[in-house]
Amino acid sequence: MGLLTGRVAIVTGASKGIGRVISHVFASEGARVVCAARSRALVEETAAEIRRSGGAAIPVTADLTNEADVRTLVETAVREFGSLDCLVNNAGDSGPTKPVQEYPLDDWLSTINSCLTTTYLCTRFAVPAMIAAGRGAIVNISSMAGKRGLPYRIGYCAAKAGQIGITSGLAGELGRHNITVNAVAPGAVEGDRIDRVIAAQAELRGISADQQRNTFLDRAPLRRMTRPDDIARMAAFLCSDHARNVSGQCIAVNAGEPT
């Protein structure tokens, strides 16, 4: 049996990157997965990949900043799979890499909404279903940028710090319902997103991309970046019975970077 056999999980931002990997890992651990994202084609592809591998998954196309869409997402999970046990709040845009004096308000609001409003709405509508199920686990995918900041990335830093605050508050609120709430704070994660951030920061600082990449690696004693599956495995653990007494925590997955 897998870590999550018998559980139903919603994974947001499941169309690509970390969210797609989380969806696959949860399915491989026995969960029935509701894959949610804005891109219909990509989220359907994620669910189809899981089904071809023998797992159970359905896609839901949703704007997770829209109350009606989020309500429908949760209702779909319960209708199709009978309950809701796990929620992984992974959705969120990375926002621009710009000095504060050049940081547009529209970009600020977009980044905050994509990370924080989605976390709030998905949790708000998921909690009643978890209470009905008698258990629940919520995992918010934050970032080390929310713990120690990152120059030229104020919107992203603020949004990810907010997710850590939401985690702490909700853990105290929901514990009496047998619902755990935790955050995962990845360090630099291998993939296209960090490559774009590195290139933009290098340009602003007037250094090479390799030099900027080394500033990330120098923070980590293991001298490597985090892989998406490292994050997915931690999220799966936090949604399993092995973590039933872990709540209100922000767990760094960052190759040993001091927190």
Distances from the Cα of 196 to the Cα of 46, 153, 192, 219, angstroms: 23, 12, 6, 19
The CA distance from 74 to 135, in Å, is 16
Per the CB < 8 A criterion, the answer to whether 12 and 64 are in contact is yes
103 catalytic residue (yes or no):
no
DSSP secondary structure string for all residues of 163-205: HHHHHHHHHHHHGGGTEEEEEEEE-SBTTHHHHHHHHHHHHHH
- 3-state DSSP percent of the chain in helix, strand and coil, to 5: 55, 15, 30
The CA distance from 249 to 180, in Å, is 10
Distances from the Cα of 205 to the Cα of 188, 195, 201, 240, angstroms: 18, 15, 6, 43
The CA distance from 57 to 138, in Å, is 19
The CA distance from 212 to 45, in Å, is 34
The CA distance from 71 to 235, in Å, is 23
- Which candidate in 103, 120, 152, 156 is catalytic? 156
The CA distance from 118 to 125, in Å, is 11
β 86-89/179-186 pair status: unpaired
Give the position of tokens 């199920």.
133
**What are the residue numbers of the active site?**
156
